[in-house]
């Protein structure tokens, strides 16, 4: 494991110079002593700045959370305006503090303050240049890119104009390759106007990153992982190399099944899979084609949605049960305010944002969820996931404000998903939803369904920022944007565009996180970490069975170890947090392979029996 090399402090350089020259005359020593005093003053000034910035940002965060909560739950022109104004205030304040933090980058500080200073300096996703005119230009571009995506629609010849969620639903449900192709191609038309805006945005943000002391935006983004940026990139390559054989087996099987369904003209037996056939607008998760590729005897014999209905589960009871998972591990119950202030059901009298989310309004105990719960299996899992965020937020509430976050940005997503991995038949039986646990013969179907979402996602989760980082550092030139995108899609995913694409297109812009400037590597990390956490917690719980059948429900030893890590927040480098649960400071994708081991054996058998040529 490689950690950041500390820059030589000004005081260290001055003292070494003084020692080397002290035999010459006393004047040099006097000069170095004065410089050392300046350094001490700089250290005191840096700490004073950190304390002030932390206090200001803590107060601003509460104000911003409340404004955003009100907007998300009462969508009007007025609340939108208030939310936007608050967003501008947060951005300008964060930029100001990041810029000032850069001035103290080489000051010698204690470990805690050095960590806080680095966080202030590196936490900006899109740093604005110091030039006010360029700052305003960047803000305008960000707004315009978001608007182009948010207002995007595609109109079919029959007059139907569909939004992105509606087009995604169509791609999940249709099996007509012509319809799938039209929806796939149509959505990507909305991204073409983004191209010159994105190119200019990169120029401006790179300038902002340089103002903060980074070579480019790629270095800034990769500097947030307690490692040298290049070492972090190498770590990602290592993790992907572990996962790739499992992904190759899944890819080979799915491609073969699609070939049988669609024929050689639409879904060739060899080479990359055409992207429009995988049930998802971006071919990032393949779960919606499960019924097309599932083995004949895959039915586990139960349906969670039906079980919830049979046992009288309404929206509140679903949340209560998810809370019960955490209290069974030894966590305290959710506060009364959670139940009175959260949103569980879509209101009929106003517009709201229904996308499921977890909130921490006051950096202490005012935790909430906001979602329009549907009484089905998917939302039962989502609720467990969202409460994972809430219990994490409450666990680190006693940390200083800057450390009130996850150990790295992959940890927060991973914790919710770790809990969701324990929603096994064994768990469903323990809480009275299932009479008996199906035998192991039903495991392949359950594992295949998981793999189509989780394993299929991993190369996509990795490649988006692989593309962006190379754009930021100039390896990918503007005239290569689209070709490089598809080169990486093929390299990592074995997926290709179903029709010819050119540099008149800007297909990266059809994925929200690119025009929305949301870093994506966190999702790849979360998909690795959740399995590593799950395996380690199952070991702590003393479960000696197959890890995919394990649930830590009811095990307080596992809960205590989990809470110990959660309480750390971002106060320590992430390897220290990882070590608390797993006993190692290195991320390891072997747990992914362990979890899906029976499936990989089965996939390889199917591919061999069908004489499939794997790879692309």
Active site residue 597: no
Q: Which residue out of 58, 203, 513, 576 is catalytically annotated?
A: 513
Active site residue 385: yes
Q: Which residue out of 355, 500, 504, 609 is catalytically annotated?
A: 355
Rg of the chain over CA atoms, in angstroms? 26
DSSP-derived secondary structure letter, 343: B
Which residues touch 499 (CB under 8 Å, ≥6 apart)? 181, 185
- Taking residue 23's Cβ as centre, other Cβ atoms within 10 Å add up to 7
Active site residue 520: no
C-alpha–C-alpha distance, residues 394 and 274, integer Å: 44
Q: Which residue out of 523, 570, 577, 589 is catalytically annotated?
A: 523
Paired tokens of 474 = 């100039």
Which residues touch 454 (CB under 8 Å, ≥6 apart)? 527
Active site residue 534: no
Active site residue 290: no
Sole residue written with tokens 């050392």:
36
273-274/161-163 β-pairing: unpaired
Q: Give the SS3 label for residue 215.
A: coil
DSSP assignments along 139-169, one per residue: HHHHHHHHHHHHT-EEE-TTS-EEEHHHHHH
Q: Which residue out of 276, 384, 385, 548 is catalytically annotated?
A: 385
Q: Which residue out of 386, 420, 427, 577 is catalytically annotated?
A: 386
What b-and-e string marks burial along 350-360, b requiring 16 or more CB atoms within 10 Å of the CB? eebeeebbbbb
Sequence length of the chain is 616
Paired tokens of 169 = 């639903």
Active site residue 527: no
Q: Which residue out of 389, 412, 527, 534 is catalytically annotated?
A: 389
Q: Which residue out of 39, 413, 456, 520 is catalytically annotated?
A: 413
CB 190 within 8 A of CB 510: yes
DSSP assignments along 19-87, one per residue: HHHTTT-HHHHHHHHHHHHHHHHHHHHHHHHHHHHHHHHHHHHHHHHHHHHHHHHS--HHHHHHHHHHH
| Cα atoms in the 13 Å half-sphere on the side-chain side of 155 | 4
153-155/495-496 β-pairing: unpaired
DSSP assignments along 422-455, one per residue: T-SHHHHHHTTS-SSPPPGGGHHHHHHHHHHHHH
Active site residue 100: no
Distances in Å between the alpha carbon of 563 and those of 25, 537, 542, 571?
59, 11, 18, 14
Q: Which residue out of 29, 35, 105, 356 is catalytically annotated?
A: 356
* H helix count then E strand count, the chain: 24, 6
Active site residue 389: yes
Name residue 7's beta-bridge partners: none
What are the catalytic residues?
355-356, 385-386, 389, 413, 513, 523
């Amino acid at each position: 494991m490689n950690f950041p090399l500390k820059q030589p402090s000004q005081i260290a350089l001055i003292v070494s110079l003084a020692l080397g020259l002290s035999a010459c005359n006393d004047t040099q020593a006097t000069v170095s002593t004065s410089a050392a005093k300046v350094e001490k003053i700089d250290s005191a000034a840096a700490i004073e700045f950190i304390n002030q910035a932390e206090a200001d940002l803590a107060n601003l965060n509460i104000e911003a959370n409340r404004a955003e909560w009100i907007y998300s739950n009462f969508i009007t022109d007025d609340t939108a305006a208030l939310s936007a104004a608050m967003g501008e205030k947060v951005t300008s304040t964060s930029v100001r503090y990041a810029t000032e933090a850069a001035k103290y980058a080489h000051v010698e500080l204690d470990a805690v303050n050095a960590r806080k200073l680095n966080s202030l300096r590196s936490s900006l996703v899109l740093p604005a240049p110091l030039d006010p005119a360029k700052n305003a230009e960047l803000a305008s571009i960000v707004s315009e890119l978001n608007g182009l995506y948010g207002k995007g629609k595609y109109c079919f010849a029959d007059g139907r104009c569909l939004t992105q969620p509606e087009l995604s639903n169509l791609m999940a449900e249709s099996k007509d390759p012509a319809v799938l192709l039209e929806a796939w191609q149509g959505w990507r038309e909305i991204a073409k106007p983004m191209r010159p805006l994105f190119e200019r945005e990169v120029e401006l943000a790179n300038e902002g990153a340089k103002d903060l002391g980074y070579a480019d935006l790629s270095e800034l983004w990769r500097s947030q992982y307690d490692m040298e940026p290049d070492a972090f990139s190498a770590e990602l390559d290592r993790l992907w190399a572990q996962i790739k054989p499992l992904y190759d087996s899944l890819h080979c099987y799915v491609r073969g099944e699609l070939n049988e369904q669609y024929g050689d003209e639409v879904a060739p037996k060899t080479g990359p899979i055409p992207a429009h056939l995988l049930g998802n607008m971006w071919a990032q998760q393949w779960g919606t084609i499960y019924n097309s590729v599932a083995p004949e005897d895959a039915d586990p014999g139960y349906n969670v949605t039906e079980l919830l209905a049979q046992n009288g589960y309404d929206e509140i009871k679903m949340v209560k049960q998810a809370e019960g998972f955490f209290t069974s591990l030894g966590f305290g119950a959710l506060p009364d305010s959670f139940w009175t202030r959260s949103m569980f059901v879509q209101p009929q009298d106003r517009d709201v944002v229904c996308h499921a989310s977890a909130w921490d309004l006051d950096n202490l105990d005012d935790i909430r969820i906001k979602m329009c719960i549907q009484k089905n299996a998917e939302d039962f899992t989502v609720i467990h996931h969202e409460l994972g965020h809430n219990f994490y937020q409450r666990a680190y509430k006693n940390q200083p404000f800057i450390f009130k976050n996850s150990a790295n940005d992959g940890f927060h997503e991973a914790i919710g998903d770790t809990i969701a991995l324990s929603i096994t038949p064994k768990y469903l039986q323990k809480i009275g939803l299932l009479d008996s646990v199906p035998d192991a013969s039903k495991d392949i179907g359950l594992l295949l369904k998981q793999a189509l979402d989780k394993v299929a996602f991993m190369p996509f989760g990795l490649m988006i920022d692989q593309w962006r980082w190379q754009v930021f550092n100039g390896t990918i030139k503007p005239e290569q944007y689209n070709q490089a995108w598809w080169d990486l899609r093929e390299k990592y995913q074995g997926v290709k565009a179903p029709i010819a694409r050119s540099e008149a297109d800007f297909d990266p812009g059809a994925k929200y996180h690119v025009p929305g400037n949301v870093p994506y590597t966190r999702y790849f990390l979360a998909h690795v970490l959740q399995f590593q956490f799950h395996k380690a917690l199952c070991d702590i719980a003393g479960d000696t069975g197959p890890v995919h059948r394990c649930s830590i429900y009811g095990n307080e030893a596992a809960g205590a170890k989990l809470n110990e890590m959660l309480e750390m927040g971002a106060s320590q480098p992430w390897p220290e947090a990882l070590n608390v649960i797993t006993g190692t400071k290195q991320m390891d994708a072997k747990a992914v392979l362990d979890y899906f081991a029976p499936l990989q054996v089965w996939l390889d058998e199917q591919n061999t029996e069908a004489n499939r040529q794997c790879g692309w």
